[in-house]
Structure 1
Amino acid sequence: MRRITLGTLAAALTLGLAGITPAAPASAAVPASVSAPAQRLVSGCSWYTYHYQIDIDPSQYDWLLQVMVTDAGGTNQAFQFFTDTDPLRGTGRFQLCSKNVHAPGRFSLTGELDLSDGVNQTATTLTPFYFQITPASTKKAGKCSKPKYAKHHKKKCRKAKRR
């Protein structure tokens, strides 16, 4: 149970009279969320996607959304900003290079939503979202495993399989 001191009560009353509202308590609903599908880590560098959604009245607030992507080892892999000039619901992209990802597995999306109504400013930490990025299969498919090769290439395929 949280104890309210006389100083805290006086500060709250002073802020209330001045028209400044403190940030919402941690138990309040967060007006933004992030999510991402499970994805495969491919060799080299590739782009990956995630989704964000902000549930506010855009006519009442200026906003800034900061999103961070962290790999399973705790290394920050990407950071991106969205502002009130962006849509309230959209897709973000981040690039991963397999050489830089030392810990594929459970990645996290975290961030912060900053709101301003011209007088008051609040910063709300987003609920983390966890998703999987699994390594691509290490088994390499041979040239002949693809059906796009024509019949006249079958001889080359048979020779390659014998080696």
Structure 2
Amino acid sequence: MRHRGPGQVYRGVVSLALLGGLLAGGSDPLGGLLGLLGGGSTTPAATVQPSGQLSMGNQVLRKGCSAYSYGYSITVPPGDDWDLETFLTDKHGTSQGSDVILSGADPTTGTKHMTLCRPSSPAGTFTLHGTLYTSDGVDPTTTTVLAPVTVKLAKPHHHKKHHHKHHAKKRR
């Protein structure tokens, strides 16, 4: 009987693990090897799917250019880079404002502000849209469209001035 050295035994274990993974119909023969050598499961942890939501309440469209607040909350896989692009469109679908929220600069939940100018943004119904982009640096970028939110930006309510007839006293 011929004595085998440690390198030959290791190659034999690797070959058996690879062959076992292929014969079992596994798509990841190396995973079978790692499971065998590490003694643990090779089943990947549950993956987090990118998702999110936007919120914005009805507001009054103020004179000039003003900031209008909206909320966001997203869930992304740990370690992924991400950005959330938001757009506020009018009833015709024309973008009236936009914002970008970035990983590394912004939290995954928060409140942001979008600037709108009343002369170019007529009062009425608007829709807040959001698109979330995530990347793990290896696979293609994932695009997730968030559910749109419809809001009303109303004209300021001005109290009508009541003109009272004043009986002016005649001065002599």
Query: What band does the TM-score fall into relative to the shorter chain?
Result: 0.5 to 0.7
Cα 1:133–1:30, aligned 2, differ >3 Å: closer, same or farther? farther
Is 1:109 paired with 2:110?
no
In structure 1, the residue corresponding to 2:147 is in which secondary structure? coil
Corresponding residue of 1:61: 80
Q: Secondary structure at the match of 1:126?
A: strand
Identical amino acids, percent of aligned pairs:
32
Structure 1 or 2, whichever has the larger Rg, is 2
Q: Scaled by the length of structure 1, what TM-score is found?
A: 0.63
Secondary structure of residue in 2 paired with 1:100: coil
Question: Cα deviations across residues 103-127 of structure 1 (Å, max 9, x unaligned)?
Answer: x222111121111112122111111
Aligned to 1:74: 93
Q: Cα distance, 1:96 vs. partner?
A: 1.8
SS of the aligned residue for 1:128 comes to strand
Match of 2:119 in 1: 99
Tell me the equivalent position of 1:26.
Answer: none
Which runs of structure 2 are paired with 1:143-154 in the superposition (5 Å)?
A: none
CA drift at 1:60:
2.7
RMSD of aligned Cα (Å): 2.5
In 2: Cα distance, 1:92 partner to 1:56 partner: 19
Contact 2:50 / 2:134 at 8 angstroms: preserved in 1?
Answer: no
Q: Structure 2 CA distance, aligned partners of 1:60 and 1:126? A: 21
- What residue ranges of structure 2 are gaps of 5+ in the alignment? 1-26, 29-48, 167-172
Describe the shift of the 1:45–1:139 C-alpha distance in structure 2 as closer, same or farther (beyond 3 A).
farther
Indicate the residue corresponding to 1:5 in structure 2. none
Counterpart in the other structure of 1:149: none
Residue equivalent to 2:58:
38
Please report the TM-score for the alignment, with normalisation by the length of structure 2: 0.60
The number of equivalent residue pairs is 118
Structure 1 residues 89 and 39: CA distance shift in structure 2, 3 A: same
Flag as ranges the 4+ runs of structure 1 deviating above 6 A.
none
If asked which structure has higher relative contact order (CA below 8 Å, sep 6+), I would say 1
